[in-house]
Each structure stands twice: as structure tokens, then as C-alpha cells.
Chain A
Amino acid sequence: MSRLRARGRRRASRIHPALYLFPLPALVLYVVFFAVPTLQAVQYSVTDWDGFSPDFANVGIANFRDALTDDDLFRNAATNNLKFMLVVVVLQTAFALLLALLLARNSRGGILLRALFFFPTILSSVSVAFIWKFVYDPNFGLGNRFLGAVGLDGLQSSYLGDDAAAIYWVALSQVWFHVGQMMVLFIAGLQAVPRELYEASAIDGAGRWAQFRHITWPMIAPATTIVVAYTTIQSFRAFDLILGLGGNPPRPSLDILSTRIYATFVNSEYGYAAAESLLFMLLIAAITVAQRQLLGLTRGSV
């Protein structure tokens, strides 16, 4: 034991002490921009602080209780967000995978199309919101004009003005916005799959579907894990896209948790907004853990 410890000490002392200073900038940034705000959010969440007054009262768990049991707006935002997340995760992952499968080869056409599909990712959310605002406008928008031109007037919609469907229209914009980014992750995963596996399976008589099911899908599981987890978190952060499309504050049919928290903060309910933020964090954490468990997309399962 003591020999082991002595060897460890010797190994540690061989590293120049100055090297230990290297993580410091990252650590400082993490503490300043994550640890402290999170601790403060916990502190504020049990108060009725309005965000500017010197006075406040401790209200215990009342903010959490109200948000969970007596707040239609928060519940509506959470429901919208789950619908939004579900549609975005399924469609974005499926389309990204499909595009990646079609464009994985490094042909000239493939590279050009990849660049084209990736293009929306480099736009700002506000620009994307403006583009889709023009598509979704019921009177002058591209969507209804196209439907009118091809004789499908019956399918014309008020899009973001349709309370039942508005959140799904925003989800489509989000998919268009980020599908190229996810496609690139899948392409990287696909290009890492050894060719020999396909050649061997072809000799064994495997069809394309069998190859996808037994080789491609398991081999790109790490990429899928990243895509699904990132898309999930991204769908909870669609704040600027929603505000750009739905205005500030958005109507209840477009309200998601991040916009609800912002609206609460603007409404001079800082303590309550902090409680909502913590519930938001817990929800994302729970969904991410559940996703990993349910989909079995961990490294161990590959």
C-alpha cells in the first residue's frame, strides 16, 4: 500500500504545478455563470421578491406548490413544451438520419446538398423566425398562397393563429432550423462504420434493411444518443424562435417553459420565476435520464 502511495506521489510530483492552473479559467466561468446563479435561484425561489425592491418575504415552498398545482399558465407551457419536444425529437432525428443515409457518400452532389441542408443552422433564430413568419402569414404567406395555387384551398390554415396546431407549426420551423446540424452528426457516425461489416454481411446475403438494422443502427447508437439528447435540450431552449414567431409574450398556444419563465420575470415575480426555473431544470434532467434508460442508447448497450 505504502509503496503504491509513494509511487503515486512521485508521479504527481513529476507534473509541473503550473499545469494545474489551466482548468482555472473554465472553473471560474463555470462557477460565475452556472454555480452561483443556480444557488441564487434556489435562494430566490423561496421568496416573493419582485426583482427590484429591497423588501421580500420568505414564502417557503409556496412558489413550487403554486406552480405545480395552481397555475394554468405554467401547466399549459409545460404541456406545450412536451408536445413540442416530442414532435421535434422524433421528426428531427428521423429526417436527420434519412438525410445522412442519403448523403453520407462524399460525392460532389452529396457535399453540395449537405451544405444546403446545413445552411439554416448558421442563421440566427430571429432570422429563422422572420422567414417562417412570412411562410405562415395567413393572408400574404407562402404557405397559403402555395396551397391556393395548387387548388388546395381547403387546407389553408391560420397556422400560428390556430390554437390547437400552433405549437406544431413552430416545431416544424425548429426541425427545418436544426435538421442539418443533426445530419452532420449522423454522417460523422456513419462514416466511422467499417466498410468490412457491410461487405461481410452482403456475402452472408443480408439485404439493405437487415444491414441497417443489424449494423448501421447499433454502430451509430453513440451519434443517436447525442442527437436525441441535444435535440431534447434544444427543444426546451427554443425561446428566441418562439418570441420571434409569436411575439412577446407569446399567446398561450405558443407558450413554452422558457418563455413562461421569462414572462413571469417580466411580470415582476422574480422569486416565482426562480421556482419555475428550478422545476424546469428538474424536468429536463428527468427527461434526459428517462430517455437514456428507455432508449437504451448508452455506450454499454452498443
Chain B
Amino acid sequence: MSDRHTPLTRRRLMQLAGTVGAGWAVASCAGPGSSGGGADEARDEPIPTGPVEGEVSFAHWRAEDQAAFDQLIAAFRQETGVTVRQDISPSNDYQSTALQRVRGGGVGDVLTAFRGAQFNDMVSAGVYSDLTDQDVVGQYDSQLIEVGRQDGTQWGLPYQVVFNMPVANLDLLERAGATGAPQDWQGFLALCEDLQALGVVPIAWPAAAPGDAGQLLNAMVMNNAPADDMFVQVESGDLKVTDEWFLTTLRQYEQLRPFFQPRATGTAVEPAQQLFASGQAAMLATGSYHIAPVRALGAQFPMDLVAPITVPADQAKYEGIYNATFILGVNTASDVRPAGLAWVEFLSRPENASAYANATAQHVTVSGATYENQDLERTSPWLTRDTLLAPRFQFDDLDVRAAVENAAVAVVGGTSPEQAAEEAQRVVDQAQ
């Protein structure tokens, strides 16, 4: 027989809380993928042709471009009345977390992606709206925006053209007696020796900075590899990094060891930039995206790009590397898609793209953009040279990419090319 007035004891309360909590916890454990945030439903719907209004969140990783975008945002607001708010994350964080952050549409009405794994994942997740039939696509150089296309659908518009190969101090190259960029591997080594004889570091390489350290690999493999999609084939198992072409590349890194700054494997990106900007190093082995930061550090000398040609001149297929990145798109989960599209269209006008390019010292993919910035003018010929689309972004698996790139760093740190290649190949094999 139970009591008529059951008191609320601690035990009863705990039992009640436990039961409710456990039930709720189990209910919360819905199956993976069940919290899509609405992106999947909107994926196939075209961008509506509603009024251009609201506030647009623009998610990207280029903090150094914030001022340039602010000016364009002010002009856009004057024209349309729409406010654009920049949501900027550091590039590494953007690479890591952007997909999760933009899926719900809370941020990133207009978003960007790195070419490669991140763009592919974002397209798979249904984040990018289909732009194929939008007029804005016609504003771009169609070849340069191919990387924003998948199976005939234009999901995104790569906005920047970057040259991911060493930047050179032309004054120092001239003092070393160079009359032009070396045409073969022996010529490149000879140039490094001449630069060293001048008492400067031939190549500043931020080997301790993930991402930046890997850029040199683009140019080192572009002529050595048996196929242009070499890293796709490495991931699929058709090529191995223990094959002769990659071992040759690692042995060439070994040859470059004396030409990097001392203890290069511990150098972060800022000190490497400082070495280059102060004239203590002749080349900075990262890419054209570092020209503006180096200028900001006070560099006055003329700069151009120099890629190491790792084969005899008559076997060289490519002169350098480029990448089409910063892939603009409109978020399917956004509530203000017409305004988002209007912002993309605004950025895609030649006059605005030119303003962006000249303010940030980066080439753009928009047709008819004009370059007044001195560094852009000097590097513009690279837009029409034989360049390979940066192969390091072919990797879909970031662990595999890191393992392959780290093999080069390990070799410069003293590991034998064979051992470094074997260790990298083990990671590749385990990822398959």
C-alpha cells in the first residue's frame, strides 16, 4: 500500500531526472547526417529572383583583403542598399571548420572555398547553389573557372589566380649574374650557388609552416611526374611516392638543402618573409600571394616568379604553377540568396575585380580586369605561359597530402629520400 502523499524525495527526483535525461539523451542521438541544416533540401532549387535586400554574410579567409572588400562593400551598399558583413577566419581555421559553419546558413550567405578537398566536400554537402545558367558566369575567363565546375554544373567561381612558386628578388638575381630564369635543373643549382657566393640565402623556405611549406612541391613535381594528375593517381594507388619520379624529386630537395636558410625545418612563415623582405634571402619559396605581405614589410626591390625546372630544358613541359582559388558561391541554405547573387555579380564586374586585384596584388579570373599594380604588371605574363594547375590541391585526403609534403621536409631535415618516401607511402596505403 503506497502513501497517500508521496513526498518528493531526493532519490525520486534523481530517478525522475535520470529517466528524463536518459530518454532525452537517447532521443538526441539521431542518426549521423540527420541534422543537415536545410542545405540538402534547397540544393536543387535555383536561386530565386526575389528582391535584392537583407544583410549578406560573406565568409572567407583573406584577412589581408578586408580593407579592399570594405571599399567594394560600401559601393555595393550605395547601389543596392544591401549590407555585406565579412566573416573572416584564418585560412587554416577556414579550411578546418568552414563547411560545418556555413551549412546551416547562419553565416556565409556568400562563401568561398579552397580548390580541392574543401570545394569538393562543400559541393557534396549541397552548400553551393547552381550558377550554371546565371549571366555572371559569362564575366569570367572560362578556362580559369573550370575548377569551380563539376559534371557540367558551375557551382562556384574561382576569383583569384595565384602563382604557387618561388618569388624572387630581381636585384639580387641580377647581382648574381642571372640574365633570366634558369631553364634546367643544373642552371637552377648554379644560380643558387651564385646567390650563396653573394653572401645571401638563396631560398627562404618556411618548412615549419604547414600549407606554405608544401607550395614548393608543386613546381618540384610539375616536370618530374609521369602525369599531370600525379597526386590523384597517388591517392588511387596507380602511382606511388616510392616510384622513381618522386624519389628523384626528393633527391633534388636533398640537393637544395645547403641553399635553404640554416635549420630551415624550424622556420615559420613570418621569419621566412622577413628574410626575403630584408634582402637577406633571394627567393621566397611560397607563392605570389606573399608579394603584398612582403611589400608591407618594406621590400622595395622588383619581384618576379621563378620556378625550379627540375629536368633538362628540352624535357620541360611546364614553366611554372598557377592556382585558381577563392571559389565564390551562393549558399543554398541562405535566406538572402538574391542579395548574395547580387554581391557575387558586383564582384564580377571588371572594374570591381580590377579594384580588388590592384588593392591586394592578386590576379583575378574576371575577363577584362586591368592591372595597374606594379607587381601585378610584372607577373602578368605568367597568365599566358605554360603553367600547371597546382597539383598539391589534387589531394582529397588531407592526411595523405600532409604525409607526401612532409616527406620533402623530412629530407631537408636529414632523412634519406628512400626512407622519407617509404614512410609517406605507408600513410598513403593505410588511407586507401
Contact = CB atoms under 8 A, between A and B. Distances in A.
Interface stretch (A45-53, A202-210, A229-237): A45-53
Interface residues of A, number: 60
Given A31-B24, A51-B100, A53-B124, A137 B32 contact: no
A140 to B, nearest CB: 5
A51 B117 CA distance: 14
A267 B399 contact: yes
A56 B21 contact: no
A248 B7 contact: no
A64 to B, nearest CB: 15
Interface string A46-79: 0101111111100000000010001111000000
B377 interface: no
Contact of B32 (A39, A49, A157): A49
Contacts of B430: 66, 70-73
Contacts of A270: 32
A129 B266 CA distance: 14
Contacts of B29: 36, 39-40, 43
A137 B271 contact: yes
Contacts of A266: 95-97, 398
A158 B414 CA distance: 12
B17 A24 contact: yes
Interface string A235-263: 00000000000111111100000000011
Contacts of B28: 36, 39-40
B266 A35 contact: no
Given A133-B268, A137-B268, A158-B263, A49 B33 contact: yes
Contacts of A252: 406
A157 B266 CA distance: 9
B265 A12 contact: no
A191 B21 CA distance: 43
Nearest to B405: A251
Nearest to A265: B96
Interface in A1-44: 9, 12-13, 15, 17, 20, 23-24, 27-28, 31, 35-36, 39-40, 43-44
B36 A54 contact: yes
A27 B21 contact: yes
Interface string B91-126: 011011101100100000000000001000100110
Contacts of A267: 117, 397-399
A251 B8 contact: no
B382 to A, nearest CB: 28
A269 to B, nearest CB: 9
B232 interface: no
Interface stretch (B183-191, B203-211, B385-393): B203-211
Q: Which bucket holds chain B's interface residue count?
A: 35 or more
Nearest to B103: A52
Contact of B263 (A28, A161, A163): A161
Contacts of A15: 10
A9 to B, nearest CB: 7
B378 interface: no
Contact of A31 (B21, B268, B413): B21
A251 B208 contact: yes
A248 B92 contact: yes
Give the one of A47, A70, A139 with max B CB within 10 A. A139
B274 interface: yes
Contacts of B40: 54
Nearest to B12: A20
A140 B8 CA distance: 68
A249 B210 contact: yes
B292 interface: no
A225 interface: no
Interface of B: 7-10, 13, 17, 21, 24-26, 28-29, 31-34, 36, 40, 92-93, 95-97, 99-100, 103, 117, 121, 124-125, 207-211, 261-268, 271, 274-275, 397-399, 402-403, 406, 409-410, 413, 415, 423, 426-427, 430
Interface of A: 9, 12-13, 15, 17, 20, 23-24, 27-28, 31, 35-36, 39-40, 43-44, 47, 49-56, 66, 70-73, 133, 136-140, 156-163, 246-252, 262-264, 266-268, 270-271
26 contacts: A15-B10, A28-B21, A31-B21, A31-B24, A43-B31, A43-B32, A44-B32, A49-B33, A50-B121, A54-B36, A56-B32, A56-B33, A70-B430, A71-B430, A73-B427, A133-B268, A137-B268, A137-B271, A156-B263, A161-B207, A161-B264, A162-B265, A247-B92, A249-B402, A251-B208, A270-B32
